[in-house]
Amino acid sequence: MASTRPSWWPLTRAEPPDEPASYGLYARVVVEVTARALNRPFTYGIPDELHGEVQVGSTVEVPFGTRRLVGFVLEILPDPGPEAALHRLRPLVRLLDPTPFWGQDLLHLAEWMRRFYGCTWLEALQTAIPGPVLRRARAARTATRRSRPRALPSVEPVQAYPEIAPNQAQQLALEAIREARATGGTVLLHGVTGSGKTEVYLRAVQEVLEEGRQAVVLVPELALTPQAVERYRGRLGGTVGVLHSGLADPERREQWWGLRRGELNVALGTRSAVFAPLDRPGLFVVDEEHETSYKQEGAPRYHARQVAFQRAARHGAAVVLGSATPSLESYHLARQGRFRLIELPGRPGGRPLPTVRIVDMRRHLRKGRLLSPELGEALRDRVAQDEQVVLLLNRRGFASFLQCQECGFVPTCPECSISLTWHRARGVVRCHYCLHQEPPPETCPGCQGHRFRTGGAGTERLEAEVQELVPGVPLVRMDSDTTSGTGAHRRLLDRFGSGQARILVGTRMIAKGLDFPSVTLVGVVRADAELHMPDFRAAERTFQLLAQVAGRAGRGDRPGEVLLQAMDPEHPCLLAAATHDYGAMCRSELAIRREAGYPPFCRLVRLLVSHPDPDRVEAEAIRIGSILSARLRHAQVVGPAPCPVERVRGRHRWHLLLKGSKVQELMDGVRNYLRPPEGPDLQILADPDPQSLM
């Protein structure tokens, strides 16, 4: 007797499947369900009326248990396979959008991400599609008609960006990029700050477009996109699309669809723009390739540089990595011949690099000021000459902590093992890990005292001190607190770039990529603050930051000057930065890394174990270390040990490192030998090629 159940009715274990229905075509679909155990492709029948409309990459509505959910089509099959023998296959409910979200390129990329980064299908696919686009697809489930993308919004006119005749080094770089495009290779463009790397990128992208292909250009920080957009649109016109999280949802959605439909042929943006839905890319540019912001900290923990390599390999495209301070991993590969290394050793027109002085802050400890007399005097002189100044302090807030002067009590985050930062402008103390905030204490909970002192310093305090030093001089502060709103980066940089503000104070977001010819002085308030962090990359990162921010000075006709304030003025890293000697830093750091067995001489996977109970997380980390040490013959296991920041968001954290020659082997070992966590409160996260050990 035929079943009277509706087609979407869920089967139970007690009910035998009906005779399988024949649909002619079947779809393998990843459904939007977050449970990892259910995150695999499911097979659905394609009704006759949807034949020819449902394609690979389509978004569809599917029955899933008693619900109807959004799904993504991975594959169209003529036969349902073994799944049909296990249970009755149900049909797709409907197609949600007539245009597929992606083609085979991004599906293959999602499959690679799933294996390499240990993420789920859903995490990989959702990473490749911006949130506003997905939200529109979900909304279409309740709409009376299909959601179609609208026409692109009109692009604001920009001033033409002038072409500059390339010098000999730039010509050599362009020729190397042409050869890489012919062979699908990689070029590492190592050019000092202000050496004309952007002009090389622009010309290379222009050549790709003339061949009928497309390009992706990545910048590491949201703060860099306004200036980059002006340059690329000023040279290439309205063919440039922009993708980053700072756009309003409607604009981000329409830019994505413009790239998907081929109306835009250059995707420019931050990390996630590497997934731009281009079907014939010929060039991937990763500017400031050394920056850690290209690494995603949440699942999937991808690195945009690695994703660019994967996409380029599938399309026979070239990859250009550019930096004044390349990562040691990239530089080592170039010296081995894996990448083509091209040097841009000087600035166009023979303009000199800025002079750099190191200020010994041990002589100024008792003065209680952030700015040394040398930097204060230089700042006043430059402002008096109508020049501009950049001041870097890589810490936001007014003070790193408050402390009771009677008993030494320091307010700490209730969820994280870190002190709360004092934000005077907002009248709160805040945790920069979990964003917990509260009013500052009026009385000390330890001794009931009323006197608190500030310790450390942030950009708020630096701003106040500068305003006291040069009262009435307009100033712009750029940090996470001042740039959180839509368009905030552009507004602040426009004020500085137009000359309305003479001084720019900020965190590391102001250290790179910005080109303001009137900047003649750069000051770094605590140049050695991160040198002694518990991370093997600390010296490399410090050199990169100092070299990059120093490069903001002297990019116009007037010479530049840089002052580095430090408590350890004779550290080799600072001495190399003062002489713009990247080679000296490389030689020193590579020798240390070779001896210790760290990248680039091996690959790493970091395992992070967390749980609310400190005893449970310690026991689990020790158990995991024992299992992997015994079973992974191709890897060295380091640890386990508590993380430097031991508790975050109420979870205690331990970690261990796996060292080996291939990341995929390390990830396979983790997958094969570690059982899933027992209980919802225990988490075991694997991070391939980690960029932070904090």
pLDDT (0 to 100) of residue 142: 61
Instruction: Answer yes or no: CATH 1.20.1300.10 is held by domain 603-688.
Output: no
* CATH-assigned architecture of domain 351-398+457-592: 3-Layer(aba) Sandwich (3.40)
Sort strands 428-430 and 421-423 into parallel, antiparallel or unpaired: antiparallel
Q: Which residues of the chain have pLDDT under 70?
A: 1-21, 37, 83-87, 140-157, 365-367, 396-399, 677-679
pLDDT (0 to 100) of residue 367: 65
Domain ranges of the chain: 26-142, 168-349, 351-398+457-592, 603-688
pLDDT (0 to 100) of residue 152: 59
Spatial contact of 423 and 397, defined as CB atoms under 8 Å apart: yes
DSSP code string of 316-358: T-EEEEEESS--HHHHHHHHTTSSEEEEE-S-GGGPPPPEEEE
d(CA 321, CA 305): 8
- Of the candidates 512, 52, 144, the residue with the CA atom closest to the CA atom of residue 323: 512
Spatial contact of 399 and 421, defined as CB atoms under 8 Å apart: yes
Q: Give whole-number Cα distances, 55 to 62, 112, 179, 449, in Å.
A: 15, 21, 36, 69
pLDDT in tens, 61-89: 999 888 898 899 998 988 887 765 556 78
d(CA 506, CA 276): 30
Spatial contact of 44 and 89, defined as CB atoms under 8 Å apart: yes
Sort strands 42-45 and 26-31 into parallel, antiparallel or unpaired: antiparallel
Question: Do the domains 603-688 and 26-142 match in fold?
Answer: no
Q: Give whole-number Cα distances, 456 to 41, 193, 419, in Å.
A: 52, 30, 11
For domain 26-142, give the fold.
Answer: GIY-YIG endonuclease (3.40.1440)
**pTM of the complete model:** 0.88
Q: Both tokens of residue 114?
A: 């799933």
Kindly give the residue spans of alpha helices, DSSP state H, lying in 87-238: 104-116, 121-128, 131-139, 168-183, 197-210, 225-236
pLDDT (0 to 100) of residue 6: 42
Those residues whose C-beta lies under 8 Å from the C-beta of residue 38, and which sit 6 or more positions away, are 31
Sort strands 214-218 and 186-191 into parallel, antiparallel or unpaired: unpaired
Instruction: Kindly report the backbone phi and psi dihedral angles of residue 220, in degrees, each rounded to the nearest multiple of 5, phi listed first.
Output: -80, -20
User: Considering the domain 168-349 in this protein, what is its CATH number?
Assistant: 3.40.50.300
> Residue 656 in 3-state DSSP?
strand
